[in-house]
Every structure is written in C-alpha cells, then in structure tokens.
Structure 1
Amino acid sequence: MNWRSYLFHFYLDASIHVALSVFALIEISCVFFGLSRDNHISYLVFFGTIACYNFVKYGVEAKKYFLVANTYHKNIQVVSFIAGAFALYHSFFVSYEAWIGLAVLSVLTSLYAVPLLPNAKNLRSLGGLKIFIVALVWAGTTVVLPIVAADRVMDWDVTVELAQRFLLVLILMLPFEIRDLDYDDPELRTLPQRYGYLKTKFLGAAGAIVFFFLTFMKDHLTCFEVLSKGLAFLVLGVLMGVTRRNQSKYFSSFWVEAIPIFWWACILVLDAFLIP
C-alpha cells in the first residue's frame, strides 16, 4: 500500500471524514441562521466525533482491540486519544446550556455502543431504531448545539430546521442500510429488511421531497435558503436513484458521507458570489 492509499484509508477508518461532515453541517446551520461562529463548539464537535465514532466502531471489542491491534489500528488509537484531548480542551469554553445538550447527546452516543444494563442490548443492535437514534444525535448536534451556543431562542424556524436535518441524515443512512442488507442479522429488522430494497429507495426519495417542502414552513425564508435546500433535494434524489445493493467499495463510506461537505462548499460559493 503506497502512502496516498494509506492516508486515504486512514482518513476514512479514523473517522476524520465523518467528523468533517458533521462539522460542515454545523457551519451550514450558522450560515442559515446568521450565527456568529463559535469555534469552540465547532472544534469540540469535530474532535469529539472522531473520538466517539472510533469508540463506537472499535469499543465493542475494546479488550481484544488493545491487546492484538496492529500498528495501523494503534495509530487510530493515538488519533482518537489526541482528538479526545482536543475535545476536552474546547469543552472548557462552552456555555452551561451547551454542556447540557452535549451531555444528553453523549449519553445517547454511549448507549449506541454500550448497553445500560448487564445482558441488555445496546441501541446499535436495535436495527429498526438505530438509524433514527443516529439521525436524532446528528440533528441535535448540528442544529441545537450551535443555536444554544449562540444564545438564540429555540423558535419555530429552528424546529423546522431540526426536522429537516433529521430527515437529511436519515436519508443519507439508507445507502449504508442497503449496502449491508445481505450481511445484517435478520433480527435487526432494518428498513431494507422490512420493506425491501426498492421500497427503501422509494421511502428515501419521498423523504427528500418532504425535506425540501418543509423549507416553506419557516417564518423567515430567503431565496438563498430555498436555493440551497433545492440543491440538497436534487442531490438526495440522485443519491436514491444511483444507490444499489452491490455498491462500489467507497460509495457509502466516502461519497455518501461527503454530501454534507459538498453541500457546505456549494453554500459558501452561493453566499460569497451569487447571492447579494
């Protein structure tokens, strides 16, 4: 494996890519609501996502992981601990209200991998519920936290944005569910297992339509936001159209998770050059 391939795989496996996607969605919320950026919240979430996602991915077999991990995985451990340290540093600069939100989201994230009671199931093993928990955590992290950090009231427009973000993340998770259809335990009862591959794609497309038209329920709406949400709607529609059961290796893990980053980049271009 050459160094470019190594860095790319490490970028994905160490959860840096997914952390950048979460960071992008926070920045999008700041643009839509005209918030002054709270760097501590943004960086806390970025580094915290790396640490938390690696905990979820590798923490189930933590003992085995620490004992037999090769150099590659030990490097991921090092990055995770460093990211956790940076997250802890930035956490000292956030407000009390933001701390409460972070605590609730952290508990949900922990229960995703670790059961609350001995011999109980974690949330990750509850396939029918899993994607809704993940979507809720992402929506809360990328909408509620920046709003709370900016000391803004949770008004109707924020509620609509929260619902849209929940739908967005839910739709982005469907290609992963479809990809794993042949490998997931039937007891998980994931959406593709319950409704089939084609109906799941249809549900995703319908969700994209609901996502877009929720925009018009906001009290304060601009052409910029309509255009931005319209772009996201088109991307989500195309995504549902091209998603297959037999996916290329990086379709979900790279391209699907890159959609929030692409959306953020497009919003920055629109905001800087096209929208007066």
Structure 2
Amino acid sequence: MFFGNIFISGCAFCQFWTTCLLWELPLPLALGLFVFLATFLLYNFDRLLPYKLAQQAAFSNRRAWAEQHKAVIISLMVLAGVGALYLFFKVILFRYNILLLAHLGVLAVLYSLPVLPIRGQLWPLRHIPLLKIFLIAYVWTCVTVWLPLLAYNQPIFSAEAWLFFLRRFLFILPITIIFDIRDVERDRATGTITLPGTIGINKAKFIAWSSLGLFSLLVGLTPPETHRAALWLSAVITGYVVWQTDATKNEYFFSVIADGMMVLQFLLIWLL
C-alpha cells in the first residue's frame, strides 16, 4: 500500500477533497478518481524507470520492494492507465481546462524522463538545480486546487482563488523539503543540486517552517473563517514532523507520516 504508491495517491485524493470542503463544493467523484489513478500511474512510472532502479546510491527497502513486485506494479499501472483514460475521454475531456491538464501532464513526464539537452547531456526536470521541490509543490497544488474549482466553474484567477492556491503551495512545499532531506545523500551521489544539499539540512528545515508560518498567516487573513483551527493544527503537526526529519529515518516515516500530513489535514477539516 505504501511502497506501491496507493497511499500517496490517496493523499492526492484527500487534498482534492479538502479543496471541495473548504469551498463548500460537492465532491466531483469521477474527477477525484481520475486524480487518484493518474497519481498512482505517474509515481510508479517514475519509480520503475531503468536509470532510477540502477542507482545504487538510491537503493533502499522501497527500491527492493519495487524490483521484487515489478510485474504486479506494471499490471496495476495498466489498469490505472485504462481507468484514467476512460475517465479522461468520457468525463473530463469536454468539461475541464485541457490546457491545464496538458501542461501538468507534460511537467509530470519531463520531471522523470531524461529528455532535456543540458550541458551535452539529457536531463529530467528533477535534476535542474533547486527546481525539484518547487515543481512538485506546483503540480500538486494545481491538481488539488484548480481541478476541483474548475469542476464547478469557479474563477480560478480570482484573488480568492490565487490566495487559496498560495496557501496550498505553502503547505505542500515543506512536505517536499522533508523528502529532499531524505534523499540528500542520493542526490549528492547523482549530482543533483537540492536545497538541503546546498544550504544544509537545518536551513532547509527553517525554510519549511517559514513556509508553514506563511501558510498559517494566510489562513488567519483570508476567508473562510471556518476550519481555521483544523488548518492551523495541521501546520503545527507538520512543523513537528519537519523537526523530526533526518536522512536516517526509516521508509515508513516518510511514506506514512510525512505524506500522511495531507491526509491528516483532510481528516481534521472533515471532523472539526
């Protein structure tokens, strides 16, 4: 469930649903299911790329699990791909902003595939210095904020929508920094320039806390007033997880606890 990227796909669905709750919109289930399936497909696509499996510096229980269950993962990816395509052509194609979906799809693929000619080599977007965490946070924010708003013809370029977009980005960014801290040794070995590898883990944590502080400030300054306590509590707990983060933590700390902050925020909003 965790190593197979089912849980992270559920995190995407929960953040998608969180937007609906905060905007008091019904859950567009077909679109939410599309988000779940597309997340599952793209995360496993990234994991099974040959050049990533061959990186010995990145080898871990997660990688070993992926190697041992490659046939199962590929079978599930095929099913997810078929389901995502069905939902795209039957439900989404003529109802939502295709340009938005297209640019997100391109970014998601270029993030993993080494096709960009840079310095005489082919690079994926993830290897461009310091870009990785901001790109991940941007794509996640677009998917979980703009798609549910577009489902109900909400003006995504209004001031309210942009502030909400910024809030979500500021919440997701610290979680991406947690994973950069996890990967700091691997990224050094592969020559990837990242935030913790450049300025150090403690300063990277400070940026994560600053992001959560700005998120909390925007929660207090922007409507709606409902669910503010839940959002603030999610920021405090995420800040504590950032504090506890180091590269020696086991896989479940990152795959369950760190990613789980997105599910926790959803549950707090749903329950409080």
* TM-score bracket for the superposition, by shorter chain length: 0.7 to 0.9
Residue 69 of structure 2 is aligned to residue 72 of structure 1: yes
Q: Choose the corresponding residue for 1:93, options 91, 94, 113.
A: 91
Provide Cα deviations, 1:37-61, integer angstroms capped at 9, x if missing partner: 2111100010111111111111344
Provide Cα deviations, 1:196-230, integer angstroms capped at 9, x if missing partner: 11111111111110111012342x321x2311221
Provide Cα deviations, 1:36-94, integer angstroms capped at 9, x if missing partner: 22111100010111111111111344999xxxx96621001001110111111111202
Could you tell me which residue of structure 2 aligns to residue 260 of structure 1? 262
Could you tell me which residue of structure 1 aligns to residue 234 of structure 2? 232
Which moves more between the two structures, 135-144 or 89-98? Answer: 89-98
Name the CA distance, whole Å, in 1 between partners of 2:262 and 2:78.
25
1:164 aligns to what SS in structure 2? helix
1:247 aligns to what SS in structure 2? coil
Q: Choose the corresponding residue for 1:196, options 193, 196, 200.
A: 200
Change in 2 beyond 3 A, CA 1:122/1:105 = same
TM-score normalised by the chain length of structure 1: 0.85
Name the CA distance, whole Å, in 1 between partners of 2:218 and 2:211.
11
Change in 2 beyond 3 A, CA 1:142/1:113 = same
Could you tell me which residue of structure 2 aligns to residue 139 of structure 1? 141
Identity over aligned pairs, percent = 26
C-alpha RMSD of the superposition: 2.1
Q: Shift of residue 183 of structure 1?
A: 2.4
Map 1:31-110; keep pairs closer than 5 Å: 31-61=21-51, 72-91=69-88, 92-94=90-92, 95-110=94-109
Name the CA distance, whole Å, in 2 between partners of 1:60 and 1:141.
27
Could you tell me which residue of structure 2 aligns to residue 6 of structure 1? none
Could you tell me which residue of structure 2 aligns to residue 30 of structure 1? 20
Q: Shift of residue 17 of structure 1?
A: 0.9
Provide Cα deviations, 1:12-50, integer angstroms capped at 9, x if missing partner: 232111100000000000000111221111000101111
Name the CA distance, whole Å, in 1 between partners of 2:196 and 2:51.
27
Q: Structure 2 unaligned runs (5+)?
A: 55-65
Name the CA distance, whole Å, in 2 between partners of 1:127 and 1:54.
23
Could you tell me which residue of structure 2 aligns to residue 8 of structure 1? none
Name the CA distance, whole Å, in 2 between partners of 1:24 and 1:184.
29
Asked if structure 1 preserves the Cα contact closer than 8 Å seen for 2:180 and 2:195, the reply is yes
Asked if structure 2 preserves the Cα contact closer than 8 Å seen for 1:60 and 1:114, the reply is no
Q: Structure 1 unaligned runs (5+)?
A: 1-10, 271-276
Could you tell me which residue of structure 2 aligns to residue 130 of structure 1? 132
Name the CA distance, whole Å, in 2 between partners of 1:185 and 1:234.
30
Name the CA distance, whole Å, in 1 between partners of 2:243 and 2:168.
20
Asked if structure 2 preserves the Cα contact closer than 8 Å seen for 1:197 and 1:245, the reply is no
Asked if structure 1 preserves the Cα contact closer than 8 Å seen for 2:219 and 2:232, the reply is no
Name the CA distance, whole Å, in 2 between partners of 1:174 and 1:225.
25
Could you tell me which residue of structure 2 aligns to residue 165 of structure 1? 168
Question: Aligned partner of 2:176: which letter?
Answer: M
1:250 aligns to what SS in structure 2? helix
Name the CA distance, whole Å, in 2 between partners of 1:138 and 1:225.
21
Asked if structure 1 preserves the Cα contact closer than 8 Å seen for 2:22 and 2:224, the reply is no
Aligned residues: 254
Which moves more between the two structures, 151-160 or 92-101? Answer: 92-101
Name the CA distance, whole Å, in 1 between partners of 2:250 and 2:259.
14
